[in-house]
Structure 1
């Protein structure tokens, strides 16, 4: 695949009809987008208002805006220096050479307009100055920002209300619809209530929220109730027979123990009948997989004896199909419910004369599809946007891609798509690998490029990653044939911050090491293999810290230079204890699970007390949260009839801490009123300052006091952002916050980054 970086200055390169660039991490993606942008402005004479640039987050949009403005400024200074408008020596010579090396080849390309070519230097300066003067109006958006602009500016063509309220957060609407559905479905029906217990309603909310963003998804047809019941009964019989076979087995192996445990769980609790229980569905899927595994057997514990094969599929004809029917019945039931709830949510939004983020995308796509208004909309958009650069294209879903295709690809307008297909496999990013490769096929093989040089990592690391992912040509790294790994080259040499192990003369040349453990299945918490892994990793950390030849540049390795990635809270805690036993402190840093913490639960209690000061149980619960400087002994001795003037001074700032329950009620009430008048973050910080909350946390005997303070500050910032984004009042924000803590408590599989300190 041709390196795109070498084609920027190719006069024959054309973006018309689309061009796809596959860019791995660290290969200069944004750098090359800047170069293409400069070429469109300087050589093709496009105005910045007419070049659509799209990326997928607000932060990335701002960064890209800054980078594009910077290359235009660099170009302006370079041209001024070349023509003498800028005195010689104004620019640092080294900087000037770097700018010259980058910009001069682009500016040397021929101008398509012969008249402009006749006065080339003046025309280039004019175009760059115009671009900088207009840059505040540059068309650089997130995908939602772009669609919002289209709907507002071309409301008639899109058939939308230009004054429609934008609802950025629909979770509360979805949650209300799901709760209403549960009440309707289960009222007076004990069997239905047992099948869909209210504690599983969170799974339904997540399902509907996910499905609402996939308007074109195929919907499983509903299975009649009698067929559903028959499928579940048939599967239950298969499970019973399988358990009888397990009981007759003379011995077991890892796989057979796992499947027996799953079968017993289904037989005793039948969790799969709880329609919206995610874990139950995962268990059922596991059973299906194992039931069709023709190699599964129970072994005699005597290693000299021949295995006593008990192949379930052979002994239970049709077991796999029976299991599939049961799962299909459950999913069909879920799909119908989700579809009905999505319709209810959509109607609720329409009743408010509003529009959601997801609806914005589909509204623009559908308007472009329209047989009458679509032609007019495509025409006006093509007149406004003469070219488009789509960053992070791997995150594009089918709705978004169809929009770009209708506007640009079908008209053969300049279109640059830049992304990393390897990242499109991550479901949480909402990308679609098949959308990516549909676009790849649409632009054609001759217009697909890559970026082949890594500017971020050192050569040994790049070589190791290439070796790891390339593998043997007959042993594909990715099962999907469309997903390939393109090897990259390292750009530079080792830096002054390079890691060396073993000293400069005996440095370990292997930047990546794989440790293999003799286990056929994933080890559990009590597994000897898991314990061995734990000890080995902790010992390796200590070895690196104690080895004087292990250095980053010229300095010794510090604990904070080392990170350990784990899967769960429990694993993180075990590693932290193992390191502590070796004299190494470690800080646990959760990536997405800050709501699954005692601090989050404590803040929820304090928030509740701020809004429900008349409920003494609520107030006492907040005081027991551990966030406030109120000892348990004081809480037990409080008498709500005492004077609220009884306070004590604490700390250098003389924080006033109530000595009575009534005094705390007054504080909570004041904070609640400030929340209603101003904002939650102001109210919480005022309360925290008045009683010295952070000083209390810092002075606690806990070894993770700094972590607790950071968690509290992070949580109140998240709450503030949610309130601002969703325009949530106090009650709605409290519901949102409690829901986050509930969902985080249910999901223990978030990734962690644990760093010694």
Structure 2
């Protein structure tokens, strides 16, 4: 496997292998795709394909419907232009017509059987271009699942769900009923405060609920427990500690209020930093914590208590000149409460763990539903084809797809994720692939870092390593050196 990238020559590019073409914006990527397309139709150029292909046998995968239509339009333009130029050449036998953007056609001439045959193939391709196999990744997966339903194990009458929000809402409500309705009061109150409702849970989980999800914990054993066990054991343990904190506070609440009341009277002479404990707010902080302590249903830790009424928080808030004199505001309750706070797991960690189980539960319900119903989402299409290709009978399915599409190109390959690459790698690049098969990955390595677009830099690097050869398009036709210098200077 070659790691070195060489300049691409569209006329000699080997077509019977796996290639990675690295092409930045403006370097003629779409033009190159069109050139490869012409070579495949005409079986022309060096290292050409073993036989001429028709438009239905050349698979081109892009990532949006708009890109798909744009690519079809540009390939049609190349076909039309080639027909006009070759027709004129056949009449005049003058190579002078192969100028500018038609130079590539002149390079094809020595490899063509004869011009009438060339024109016949090009016109047939132009007439059938509406049947061309140019799809989005999801469109390709859907087509394969339906055409090879027996091998892929999906419903023949597969229905594409563009919006599965109703299903998600149904399963979120079911999970809430199944896991939270029979909880003890203190746990139900915790769930109500932290999660609020099934609708809020769906908002927290986000739109990619069907994707794999994991969280990193200092104590991974917390995820190994069932949700019921976790709620009854860890959250109840937390609740008991918080209940003890509340008891300590309420026992001393009157004295604590008197303690800070004295600081309010002192105002400017108070030893406490006024930004953290102003005379206008300090007593309201005390009253807030007292109100929280009296509410036995609230088993979450009060933030004001943590930030204002632990001994370390108060020590840090002493003004510098008072600190030098050794002045402190102390009460046994502050140290006792601080020690107990150290034993408590934060409620946001508990919420993450509950959401993790919630997500797993909804995913399971979705998978079970879709396994027994024809409805599938966009993400399901990729997952199902990948599972079919890597499961029992996967080799046969891959062979059927290769027979249908002996040559494939992926445009914007830098936006390919691991799942998508596993699909095409299984079809076009595994030890069982033999015979006349070609696979081109075309993308911009500089854009492979954009995770928000679905790109996965590690998938790109893996594909680059596994390709038979790497080529690059080094000339930028969309810019010029003075423009680049000007932008850099600016």
Matches within 5 A, 1:253-652: 329-371=350-392, 373-410=393-430, 411=433, 413-443=437-467, 447-463=469-485, 510-511=489-490
Alignment length (residue pairs)? 392
> 1:342 offset after TM fit, Å?
1.3
User: Structure 1 residues 427, 83: closer, same or farther in 2, change over 3 A?
Assistant: same
Q: Distance in 1 between matches of 2:209 and 2:371?
A: 18
**1:19 corresponds to which residue?**
19
> 1:461 offset after TM fit, Å?
4.8
**1:31 corresponds to which residue?**
31
2:168 maps to which of 144, 169, 174: 174
> 1:382 offset after TM fit, Å?
1.0
Unmatched 5+ residue regions in structure 1? 112-116, 238-246, 253-267, 275-296, 303-315, 468-509, 512-757
> 1:430 offset after TM fit, Å?
2.5
Deviation sequence 1:620-672 (CA, Å, 0-9, x none): xxxxxxxxxxxxxxxxxxxxxxxxxxxxxxxxxxxxxxxxxxxxxxxxxxxxx
> 1:57 offset after TM fit, Å?
0.8
Q: Distance in 1 between matches of 2:474 and 2:445?
A: 14
Q: Distance in 1 between matches of 2:39 and 2:239?
A: 63
User: Structure 1 residues 418, 463: closer, same or farther in 2, change over 3 A?
Assistant: farther
Matches within 5 A, 1:126-275: 126-187=120-181, 189=183, 190-198=188-196, 201-205=199-203, 207=205, 209-212=207-210, 214-215=211-212, 221-223=223-225, 224-225=230-231, 226-227=233-234
Structure 1 window deviating more from structure 2 (124-133 vs 394-403): it is 124-133
User: Structure 1 residues 376, 200: closer, same or farther in 2, change over 3 A?
Assistant: closer
1:76 aligns with 2:83: yes
Q: Distance in 1 between matches of 2:10 and 2:365?
A: 54
Q: Distance in 2 between matches of 1:449 and 1:231?
A: 60
User: Structure 1 residues 440, 218: closer, same or farther in 2, change over 3 A?
Assistant: farther
What secondary structure sits across from 1:454 in the alignment? coil
> 1:199 offset after TM fit, Å?
5.9
Q: Distance in 1 between matches of 2:397 and 2:471?
A: 31
Q: Is the 8 A contact 2:160 2:376 kept in 1?
A: yes
> 1:59 offset after TM fit, Å?
0.8
What secondary structure sits across from 2:448 in the alignment? helix
**2:284 corresponds to which residue?**
none
> 1:379 offset after TM fit, Å?
1.4
TM-score, with length taken from structure 1: 0.45
Deviation sequence 1:333-353 (CA, Å, 0-9, x none): 322210111121233344543
Deviation sequence 1:35-67 (CA, Å, 0-9, x none): 222222222322111110000111110001111
Q: Is the 8 A contact 1:166 1:357 kept in 2?
A: yes
What secondary structure sits across from 2:455 in the alignment? coil
Q: Distance in 1 between matches of 2:179 and 2:271?
A: 43
Q: Is the 8 A contact 1:390 1:417 kept in 2?
A: yes
User: Structure 1 residues 3, 230: closer, same or farther in 2, change over 3 A?
Assistant: same
1:61 aligns with 2:68: yes
Q: Is the 8 A contact 2:27 2:477 kept in 1?
A: yes
What secondary structure sits across from 1:425 in the alignment? coil
Q: Distance in 2 between matches of 1:72 and 1:229?
A: 71
User: Structure 1 residues 204, 76: closer, same or farther in 2, change over 3 A?
Assistant: same
> 1:228 offset after TM fit, Å?
5.8
User: Structure 1 residues 218, 206: closer, same or farther in 2, change over 3 A?
Assistant: closer
**1:48 corresponds to which residue?**
55
What secondary structure sits across from 1:47 in the alignment? coil
What secondary structure sits across from 1:40 in the alignment? helix
User: Structure 1 residues 76, 163: closer, same or farther in 2, change over 3 A?
Assistant: same
What secondary structure sits across from 1:210 in the alignment? coil
What secondary structure sits across from 1:211 in the alignment? coil
> 1:355 offset after TM fit, Å?
2.1
**1:722 corresponds to which residue?**
none
> 1:156 offset after TM fit, Å?
0.9
Q: Is the 8 A contact 2:8 2:471 kept in 1?
A: no
**1:99 corresponds to which residue?**
101
> 1:408 offset after TM fit, Å?
0.8
User: Structure 1 residues 85, 327: closer, same or farther in 2, change over 3 A?
Assistant: farther
User: Structure 1 residues 435, 321: closer, same or farther in 2, change over 3 A?
Assistant: farther
Deviation sequence 1:548-567 (CA, Å, 0-9, x none): xxxxxxxxxxxxxxxxxxxx
Deviation sequence 1:724-748 (CA, Å, 0-9, x none): xxxxxxxxxxxxxxxxxxxxxxxxx
User: Structure 1 residues 331, 458: closer, same or farther in 2, change over 3 A?
Assistant: farther
Deviation sequence 1:2-22 (CA, Å, 0-9, x none): 887x523452x3244421123
What secondary structure sits across from 1:383 in the alignment? helix
Q: Distance in 1 between matches of 2:484 and 2:411?
A: 24
> 1:328 offset after TM fit, Å?
5.8
Q: Is the 8 A contact 2:214 2:356 kept in 1?
A: no
**1:8 corresponds to which residue?**
9
TM-score, with length taken from structure 2: 0.67
Q: Is the 8 A contact 2:194 2:351 kept in 1?
A: no
Q: Is the 8 A contact 1:52 1:388 kept in 2?
A: yes
> 1:139 offset after TM fit, Å?
0.5
Deviation sequence 1:378-404 (CA, Å, 0-9, x none): 111111111111011122222211110
Structure 1 window deviating more from structure 2 (412-421 vs 135-144): it is 412-421
User: Structure 1 residues 77, 222: closer, same or farther in 2, change over 3 A?
Assistant: same
Unmatched 5+ residue regions in structure 2? 245-269, 276-290, 293-297, 299-315, 322-337
Q: Is the 8 A contact 1:54 1:140 kept in 2?
A: yes
Q: Distance in 1 between matches of 2:241 and 2:118?
A: 76
